[in-house]
Structure 1
Amino acid sequence: MSRASKLLIAIASLGLSSFVCDNASAQASAATTCQPVTVPVALAEGGPKAYSVSGKLCLPASGQANSVILTVHGATYDHNYWDWPYIPQVYSYRNFMTNAGYAVFVYDRIGDGLSSHPVSTDISVNSNGYVAHELVQALRQGQINGYTFKHVVLAGHSLGSYTSWVEAGQYRDVDAVILTGIAHKMSSTIGTILSQDIYPAQQDPAFQNLGLDAGYLTTRPGARNAMFYYPATTDPNVVQLDEKTKQTATQTELNGVFATAQGSATYYSAFINVPILIVDGQDDVIFCGNGAADCSTSASLQSAERPYYSASPSVTSFVVPASGHDINLEVTAPLWYSASLGWLLSTAKITP
């Protein structure tokens, strides 16, 4: 049986066939507008706005929305993680949410994609959090293409969820937070994964001519499949595109992932004072099992993570079955997209 046939069976077994068809029809009829923007930012409070963030503000077919979702991608990715160009009716969260009537802002974090690439040591989880804070304020104040939004939802993945901890916990200026690909404890295998699969971007053919310093890191060729995916629900075409479009992370950022002292991302997670949705793949090798969170069910993930968010009025968990770390890039993605929409409407009370 071919991999394509297996994927179709997986979609059918998870009840996604009608969703994919319906969403494809919606996409064909919707005229979503995505506007490229460049936003000047500083890397720390009081610093000069000497850097630029490259992003896209995507509006629903109506051309207007009261609520915007600000997405933050993880390490070695860019904005494409949230707006995947291959079969977007399955893999693009941006596509799903603009079809539902929300505006979505996707961007390349500093150090990735078309955004500025400063010295690697200037990029940290905390600087990422401050940049996200600047974007939140810009979206609220009409500084991005003149659109002003009443509600801003922060959605992060992996390193982007650590960034979201800092932004939402320190600056407290968003209305809800969606955290994906994260838990407060990591698998005991993380050290082996990082030592085997991460190396200086200078050594990778894709980045050798960019002049990046030794603190910029990326994944070794061929490593992404085992790190980020669950084989049964993975399209090899997605993995090939993932490898082709991979980006970097900095050593300083990765150091911040493991920090727990005052002022760290983990520290700020306890200060988030808005509704939180936590979403992990059941087969995430980084954050589920082997000493990390129990992701066997949504209830077990809820039990593991709720105590860490003492300031939040509401913490909801959702486990995506048969899915790895990159929940947006598995055929199961529409399951959590739909769950997040339901959560926004019923729990966070944030309408488009």
Structure 2
Amino acid sequence: MSPFRFISSTWKPLTTTTFILSTFLTTSLVSANPNCTEFRIPLTATASNEVFPIPVGLNYSNPAAISGLVQTVLGDAGTVYPVIPTTFTGIIAGRYCEPEVTIANRSDVVQLFMSGVTENNLYWFGLGYPNGYDGNEYSTVDYASKQGYPTFVIDRIGVGNSTHPDPILQQQVNLEEAVSHQLVTMLKAGTAVPGKTFNRVIFVGHSYGSILGNAQATNHPDDISAFILTGFGVSIIPVAADLPQTVPFPADLYAPRFAGLPPGYLVTSSEPGRRGYLWGKPGSYDEGIFEMDYNDEDVVGLGELLSIDAGLKEAPASTAPVYIITGDSDDVFCLLATCGDGAGSPQAQACSLFPKAETCEYFIPVGTGHMISLHYSAPTSFQKYHAFLASVGF
């Protein structure tokens, strides 16, 4: 393993119509640590999604055309696109895991995990279940289990075993946030996990999942008791500027496992491009886990890329504490993979989105790229955010 130094800081602030089908199907799974159960949860959620200017005859097999469209939409920050009511009705796949350590004051708290684009629930298990790469070394869930936290890890709509809706019109920030809101409501009501009612939900996001967390703080400020946002920043400029290197390409033309998906479902088809955009500097991660991630990547809906800006807004009413972890070599939220530190860093700037937060703190693992949970520095990131949770009463 490579040696690392780390930067931590604290920022102190100055001051949809939905319907849930509450039935579910469960399948018990054998797992050593922790003990997990797989769920298929039917639900319906509605939100106002944007209608983007998709060119007639768009060639989805032309990576330059796809990247150019994303850059145009994200670059027009002042453009207001029309919105229409959009509904998702389908299955959300997830795993609920009982912790291996029992801590009384954490039994009514659950960590809800939300992955980034081209990742599914396996990201939080170190890319494999029941055992990830190198055992549990990179498993966020396993670390949380050892701290006594129940966890609920889902496949977002459009990835993994969850329903794949229209990748442009439906798979957007607003509708995915509405789905997340329903899951939080169900976790608190005891209808997501039979026999389990949680009074407090900790939202743990990565990348696009963190953007959904920001959206939830904005749209439903009472949902979440604490936010852990990893691979997160406030600017969409580098997101769009550095995307072309990944060579986005239709998933169904890329690999047989994606056969039948509409062309708006994309993958990163360039190995060096994925490495540069999502992983950062070689030597900060095990080459084997990078290859595993590249070979087993999931998909991203074009609508997700186009709607990112909808999730990066101030959350004026959310008082939940926030902890942000973004590596200094993150190429998604930092131009030229150089994030800097201190008040000018993307991490510190992102705290401005949570002006009423009890506290907003950030941690910058140096030498680390975008895939926070999969770098050599991952155990330190796990330890840091759990120490933060303990410091704010969880």
TM superposition score normalised by structure 2: 0.75
Partner of 1:331: 376
Once the two structures are TM-superposed, the CA of residue 136 in structure 1 deviates from its matched residue by 0.8
Please state if 1:55 is matched with 2:100: no
For the 8 Å contact 1:129–1:167, the answer to whether it is kept is yes
Partner of 2:122: 80
Once the two structures are TM-superposed, the CA of residue 130 in structure 1 deviates from its matched residue by 0.9
Partner of 1:191: 241
**Which residue identity lines up with residue 369 of structure 2 in the other structure?**
G
Partner of 2:51: none
Once the two structures are TM-superposed, the CA of residue 237 in structure 1 deviates from its matched residue by 1.1
TM superposition score normalised by structure 1: 0.83
Once the two structures are TM-superposed, the CA of residue 287 in structure 1 deviates from its matched residue by 1.2
Matches of 1:312 and 1:14, distance apart in 2 = 30
Please state if 1:99 is matched with 2:146: yes
For the 8 Å contact 1:83–1:106, the answer to whether it is kept is no
Give the direction of change, closer, same or farther, for the CA distance of 1:271–1:265 in structure 2 (3 Å limit): farther
**Which residue identity lines up with residue 249 of structure 1 in the other structure?**
V
Once the two structures are TM-superposed, the CA of residue 131 in structure 1 deviates from its matched residue by 1.0
| Structure 1 segment 1-352 matched on structure 2, within 5 A | 7=1, 10=2, 13-14=3-4, 31-44=33-46, 50-62=89-101, 65-84=107-126, 85-120=132-167, 121-143=169-191, 144-172=193-221, 173-186=223-236, 188=238, 190-194=240-244, 196-209=246-259, 211-222=260-271, 223-229=273-279, 230-257=281-308, 259=309, 264-290=310-336, 294-296=339-341, 300-301=345-346, 303-346=348-391, 348-350=392-394
For the 8 Å contact 1:165–1:272, the answer to whether it is kept is no
Matches of 2:299 and 2:256, distance apart in 1 = 10
- RMSD of equivalent CA atoms: 2.5
**Which residue identity lines up with residue 42 of structure 2 in the other structure?**
P
For the 8 Å contact 1:40–1:49, the answer to whether it is kept is no
Once the two structures are TM-superposed, the CA of residue 276 in structure 1 deviates from its matched residue by 0.6
Unaligned runs of 5+ in 1: 1-6, 17-29
CA deviations 1:244-284 (Å, max 9, x no partner) are 22111111111111x3xxxx212354443211111101111
**Which residue identity lines up with residue 214 of structure 2 in the other structure?**
W
Matches of 1:281 and 1:58, distance apart in 2 = 28
More deviation, 31-40/298-307: 298-307
**Which residue identity lines up with residue 43 of structure 1 in the other structure?**
A
Q: Provide runs of 4+ in structure 1 moved above 6 Å.
A: 46-49
**Which residue identity lines up with residue 53 of structure 1 in the other structure?**
I
**Which residue identity lines up with residue 179 of structure 2 in the other structure?**
V
Once the two structures are TM-superposed, the CA of residue 192 in structure 1 deviates from its matched residue by 4.2
Q: Kindly tell me the number of residue pairs found equivalent between the two proteins.
A: 319
For the 8 Å contact 2:238–2:331, the answer to whether it is kept is no
CA deviations 1:271-324 (Å, max 9, x no partner) are 43211111101111111245x984435884554233232122211011012110
Matches of 2:311 and 2:137, distance apart in 1 = 31
For the 8 Å contact 1:181–1:280, the answer to whether it is kept is yes
Bigger helix share:
1
Give the direction of change, closer, same or farther, for the CA distance of 1:138–1:274 in structure 2 (3 Å limit): same
For the 8 Å contact 1:36–1:57, the answer to whether it is kept is yes
Matches of 2:91 and 2:152, distance apart in 1 = 15
Once the two structures are TM-superposed, the CA of residue 49 in structure 1 deviates from its matched residue by 7.1
Unaligned runs of 5+ in 2: 7-31, 48-84, 127-131
What secondary structure does 2:303 align onto? Answer: helix
What secondary structure does 2:313 align onto? Answer: helix
Give the direction of change, closer, same or farther, for the CA distance of 1:340–1:88 in structure 2 (3 Å limit): farther
